Amino acid sequence: MSEFQNIGLIGRTESDSAVLSLKRLMAFLEREGFSVVLEKETATAVPGHSARVSSKDKLGELCDLVIVVGGDGSLLGAARALAKYSVPLLGINRGRLGFLTDITPDEIEQKVGEVLAGKYMAESRFLLDMSVTRDGKPVGKGSALNDVVIHPGEFIRMIEFDLYIDGQFVYKQRSDGLIISTPTGSTAYALSGGGPIMHPKLDAISVVPLNPHTLSSRPIVVEGSSEFKVVVGEHNVAKPHVTCDGHDQVVTEPGDVVRIHKKPHRLTLIHPIDHNFYETCRTKLGWQVGG
């Protein structure tokens, strides 16, 4: 008997192709005798179903495995909601790039069947917690699997801030912003900003400045247990925004303090048995295969 009996499903409902894959996956799971639990919004895309329905948060309590049908963005949202429940996630790619969702739609029965039969790889990924305080009082918070980004918001203006790591002053910077990225996020926005690709197993965090005013500002990589403090400068024209995986936006004021550290709960990401990080990089980033 499979270790996974109650399977939660989250789908990208605005995508017709994702809904098609979701219906195909549901039919396969029900045919194989698994109990399916649909996330509430996902359930609206499959009228006439007979599956149980649950909020995204509750899926973590009800399910042994959650399968996300969509792109990496869909999986990021599921990870933020479900990390505290320790329920593993598996991704079917109906997006574009797909570093996290690595089963293709035409492999659903074969690859999902193998996972349910116990043939899979499990990876542990850490997330980041972010909080903003103003005069010592909390004004916003969020969590991220990829990255926490401080940026000018709607204005194309440089912003100024002070960065501290583990209580030690690092620098005062004027730039278009700062990306604080996990290894998972190193192939996302941080990569576009010139940051390093980090292997998912690394216990490390990268700090990537966005278009810094000084050419000497370069990405740095620090240990994963590091605590970050960013103090928003007093003389910013724009009000810097803080986003987590592009969500949970907080608009800051001069003097606000942004704190970022590793989340206590980790995410278990399930891959097919033949998953290979370097092959994914070759495929997604167009690395050369041979001479």
Question: Does pLDDT of 46 surpass 70?
Answer: yes
Quick check: 72 and 253 in contact, CB under 8 A? no
pLDDT at 39: 96
Residue 279 inside a domain? The answer is no
Quick check: 136 and 215 in contact, CB under 8 A? no
The reply to whether 156 and 71 lie within a common domain is no
Of 97, 118, 139, the one marking the end of a domain is 118
User: For the purposes of burial, counting CB atoms within 10 Å of the CB of 50, is it exposed (0-12), middle (13-18) or buried (19 or more)?
Assistant: exposed
Q: What is the DSSP annotation of 17-81? A: HHHHHHHHHHHHHHHTTPEEEEEHHHHTTSTT--SEEE-HHHHHHH-SEEEEEE-HHHHHHHHHH
Residue 276 inside a domain? The answer is no
pLDDT at 47: 87
The reply to whether 98 and 207 lie within a common domain is no
The reply to whether 93 and 162 lie within a common domain is no
Q: Which domain range does residue 55 map to?
A: 6-118
pLDDT at 200: 95
pLDDT at 97: 65
Write the pLDDT tens digit of every residue in 72-94.
Answer: 899 999 999 999 999 999 999 98
Write the pLDDT tens digit of every residue in 229-265.
Answer: 999 998 887 889 999 999 879 999 999 999 999 999 9
Question: Considering its fold, how many domains does the chain have in total?
Answer: 2
Residue 157 inside a domain? The answer is yes
The reply to whether 131 and 106 lie within a common domain is no
The reply to whether 10 and 41 lie within a common domain is yes
Residue 226 inside a domain? The answer is yes
Taken as a whole, the chain contains a residue count of 291
The reply to whether 113 and 160 lie within a common domain is no
Show binding-site residues.
72-73, 146-147, 157, 174, 176, 187-192
pLDDT bin (cut points 50, 70, 90) of residue 157 is confident
Show binding-site residues for NAD(+).
72-73, 146-147, 157, 174, 176, 187-192
What is the rounded distance in angstroms from the CA atom of residue 217 to the CA atom of residue 195? 12
pLDDT bin (cut points 50, 70, 90) of residue 291 is low
Residue 290 inside a domain? The answer is no
Residue 232 inside a domain? The answer is yes
Of 100, 118, 136, the one marking the end of a domain is 118
The reply to whether 226 and 197 lie within a common domain is yes
The reply to whether 144 and 260 lie within a common domain is yes
Query: Would residue 166 show up in a list of annotated catalytic residues for this protein?
Result: no
Residue 253 inside a domain? The answer is yes
The residue among 163, 159, 189 whose CA lies nearest residue 251 is 159
Rounded mean pLDDT, 264-285: 92
Question: Does pLDDT of 14 surpass 90?
Answer: no
Q: Domain holding 85: CATH number?
A: 3.40.50.10330
Q: Domain holding 200: CATH number?
A: 2.60.200.30
More confident residue, 182 or 95: 182
Residue 1 inside a domain? The answer is no
The reply to whether 48 and 150 lie within a common domain is no
Of 86, 118, 150, the one marking the end of a domain is 118
Among 64, 72, 203, 256, the active-site one is 72
The reply to whether 105 and 155 lie within a common domain is no
Quick check: 30 and 60 in contact, CB under 8 A? no
The reply to whether 136 and 157 lie within a common domain is yes
C-beta neighbour count of 268 within 10 angstroms: 17
The reply to whether 148 and 233 lie within a common domain is yes
